[in-house]
Amino acid sequence: MTTVQEERGTEELKALAEQAGRDLEGASASEILKWAAETFGKRFCVTSSMEDAVVAHLASRALPGVDVVFLDTGYHFPETIGTRDAVEAVMDVNVITLTPRQTVAEQDAEYGPRLHDRDPDLCCKLRKVRPLEEGLKDYLAWATGLRRDESPTRANTPVVGWDEKRRKVKVSPIARWTQDDVDAYVAEHGVLTNPLLQDGYASVGCAPCTRRVLEGEDARAGRWAGRAKTECGLHG
């Protein structure tokens, strides 16, 4: 399959993303992923935090064997690693696990223990942002599971947009979905989900920076609770 990278430069890719964002605003998640698969072929991947495998499942139907990129920060709950292993075992996807340059022990030796408590932005940069930048190097487009209803910071997420930081097309096929839509898709297709979602967690990140949510809180209130930080830097 000939993909856009042979034909177009970065500015054209950006224009393509912005046009697709307008054209596909009313499209279904499957249609958006079909467009991405046809446009970018193997230079398209899905990133997953292994909170659930909804986008991976949708993408595997549009592009069987699609690369699913997972960031193993070294701080994940065992349930998250188990979900990653189960996704790899049962779904028609190619799971790629990215790791930071330093182990947690090496980071502790250089920066001191519990950097996540003292400087979470730096910890996220070292353990998430940089590994993802390096891991996405060979792709033209990546898909995320961002949804507009998750938090005010995500309310304007386009279904297809331009990721200026990485200079890639960013696809958010379920941006318009609600939690009810996700739950219905999981139930209909028997999609794998992280067991922590049945244990009071609404959004699953690294163990030291994630707590259960309380009644009435938004889905991401349990991430970096008590701090102004709401995003890890992957989506800003």
* 45 in a labelled binding site: no
Please spell the DSSP secondary structure of 206-236, one letter per residue: -GGGB-PPPTT--TTTTBSTTSS----SS--
- Closest contact distance (angstroms) between CB of 64 and ligand SF4 is 31
* Candidate residues 171, 191, 232, 234; the one interacting with ligand SF4 per rule CB under 6 A: 232
* Eight-state DSSP code of residue 125: I
Contact of 162 with 14, CB cutoff 8 Å = yes
CA–CA separation, 162 vs 170, rounded Å? Answer: 6
Beta carbons of 138 and 43 less than 8 angstroms apart:
yes
Determine, following the binding rule CB under 6 A, whether residue 124 of this chain makes contact with ligand SF4. yes
Segment lying near ligand SF4 (by CB under 6 A), choices 32-40, 116-124, 147-155, 167-175? 116-124
Q: Which stretch binds ligand SF4 (CB under 6 A): 32-40, 43-51, 120-128, 191-199?
A: 120-128
| Beta pairing partners, 163 | 168
Using CB under 6 A, which of 116, 147, 176, 220 touches ligand SF4? 116
From the list 27-35, 91-99, 134-142, 206-214, the region that binds ligand SF4 by CB under 6 A is 206-214
Residues 6+ apart with CB under 8 A from 182: 52, 54, 147, 174
**Active site residues per annotation:** 232
Contact residues for ligand SF4 (CB under 6 A)?
A: 73, 75, 116, 120, 123-124, 127-128, 205-206, 208-209, 232
